């Protein structure tokens, strides 16, 4: 989604620009080359037709789903006593067998937020940490039903050849049980490695980032990635997003690597400063957007863009 859609939105300005993605066939996704950023990484071989796994930092492993348009990335972060799985993917294939091949440590799960493409494998795990928000509790209890996410499993959305036996007509995201609530500022101790939880609401009300101060690592979820950042859903709040990315931009001097949840698994910390500055440029009306259709505008910059609902933008600019 975040790569192919970006290209289509750059090329088309008609009202059906976003629907162009559905014209891609599943064979296109099966033959689609891996991102150049992935080709430069050290791959860890696992038994999986769906996931690709890469070493991206000190005891940090990216579990990538490159065969669908979401291009989701989950991260396995290893300590001495425990491991933390940051997100569990889109749920079209089981992620827990991959995790078991990568570590024998007890695994905690923590989600960057509870959009469907980040909690698909939650139900496969017993120890799940979560913020106590109404949005989080809703998706823990209900998951996501088929009608709300059926477009994720069309022939143009993924490589079905990689998923033998997968039933697209019954695809949904399972509910899951939360074992422990966490809050902004809490630290998760994995043994010899502590990860600080930073609330970054905006994309969703339950969005978080993870900070490893010892190694200078930051995991950003969907608050930042290289591609069109989605800021158009009903649960998006642009004023909160502005405050959150300002917080992350201030952290850039302390960072060595940024790990987003889509597209490229490693970004330069300076991108966070650019994110904040470009967002403020957009807010001030100093850059011309592309009409993306469906009442949305795309503001495009060098490394990323903002895909924003027109009505939300009007409200945001007067708040």
DSSP 144-200: B-HHHHGGGGSTTTB-GGGSTT--GGG--BPP----EEE-TT-EEE-SS-EEEEEE-
More confident residue, 223 or 5: 223
Q: DSSP secondary-structure letter at 262?
A: B
| pLDDT of amino acid 8 | 42
Q: What pTM value is reported for the model?
A: 0.93
Averaged over 29-57, what is the pLDDT? 95
Average per-residue pLDDT for the chain: 92
Packed helices 310-318 and 238-251: angle between N→C axes, nearest 10 degrees? 70
Closest by CA position to 255, among listed 212, 221, 220: 212
Task: Provide the number of structural domains found in the chain.
Answer: 1
Which tens digits make up the pLDDT trace of 10-22?
333 333 333 333 3
Q: Which domain holds residue 310?
A: 4-318
CATH number at residue 110: 3.60.15.10
Q: What is the CA radius of gyration of the chain?
A: 18
Distance, CA of 232 to CA of 86 (rounded, Å): 24
Q: Tell me the β-bridge partners of 234.
A: none
Element (H, E) at 10: helix 4-11
CB 206 within 8 Å of CB 183: no
User: Above 90 in pLDDT, residue 163?
Assistant: yes
User: Above 70 in pLDDT, residue 93?
Assistant: yes
Report the residue count for the chain.
Answer: 319
User: Above 50 in pLDDT, residue 6?
Assistant: no
User: Above 70 in pLDDT, residue 267?
Assistant: yes
Encode burial over 40-75: b for 16+ CB neighbours within 10 A, e otherwise. ebeebebebebbbbbebbebbbbbbbbbbbbbbbbb
| pLDDT of amino acid 25 | 60
Distance, CA of 207 to CA of 104 (rounded, Å): 28
Closest by CA position to 48, among listed 4, 93, 18, 81: 93
User: Above 90 in pLDDT, residue 167?
Assistant: yes
Which tens digits make up the pLDDT trace of 192-236?
999 999 999 999 999 999 999 999 999 999 999 999 999 999 999
CB 50 within 8 Å of CB 67: yes
Distance, CA of 16 to CA of 33 (rounded, Å): 26
| pLDDT of amino acid 16 | 33
């Amino acid at each position: 989604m975040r790569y192919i859609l970006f290209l289509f939105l750059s090329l088309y300005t008609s009202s059906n620009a976003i629907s162009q993605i559905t014209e891609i066939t599943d064979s296109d996704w099966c033959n689609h080359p891996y991102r150049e950023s992935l080709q430069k990484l050290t791959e860890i071989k696992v038994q999986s037709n769906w996931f690709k796994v890469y070493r991206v930092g000190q005891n940090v492993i990216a579990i990538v789903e490159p065969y669908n348009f979401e291009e989701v990335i989950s991260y396995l972060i290893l300590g001495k006593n425990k491991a933390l799985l940051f997100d569990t993917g889109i749920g079209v294939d089981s992620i827990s067998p991959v995790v078991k091949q990568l570590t024998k440590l007890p695994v905690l799960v923590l989600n960057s937020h509870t959009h469907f493409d980040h909690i698909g494998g939650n139900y496969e795990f017993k120890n799940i940490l979560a913020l106590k928000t109404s949005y989080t509790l809703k998706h823990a209890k209900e998951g996501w039903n088929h009608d709300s996410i059926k477009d994720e499993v069309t022939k143009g959305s993924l490589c079905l050849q990689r998923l033998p036996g997968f039933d697209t007509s019954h695809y949904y995201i399972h509910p899951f049980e939360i074992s422990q609530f966490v809050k902004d500022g809490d630290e998760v101790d994995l043994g010899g490695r502590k990860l600080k939880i930073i609330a970054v609401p905006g994309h969703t009300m339950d969005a978080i980032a993870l900070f490893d101060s010892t190694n200078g690592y930051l995991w950003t979820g969907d608050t930042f990635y290289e591609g069109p950042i989605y800021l158009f859903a009903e649960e998006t709040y642009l004023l909160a997003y502005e405050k959150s990315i300002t917080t992350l931009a201030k952290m850039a001097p302390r960072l060595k690597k940024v790990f987003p949840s889509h597209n490229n698994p490693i970004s330069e910390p300076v991108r966070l400063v650019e994110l904040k500055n470009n967002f403020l440029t957009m807010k001030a009306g100093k850059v011309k957007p592309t009409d993306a259709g469906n009442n949305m505008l795309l503001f495009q910059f060098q490394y990323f863009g903002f895909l924003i609902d027109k009505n939300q933008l009007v409200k945001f600019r007067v708040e």
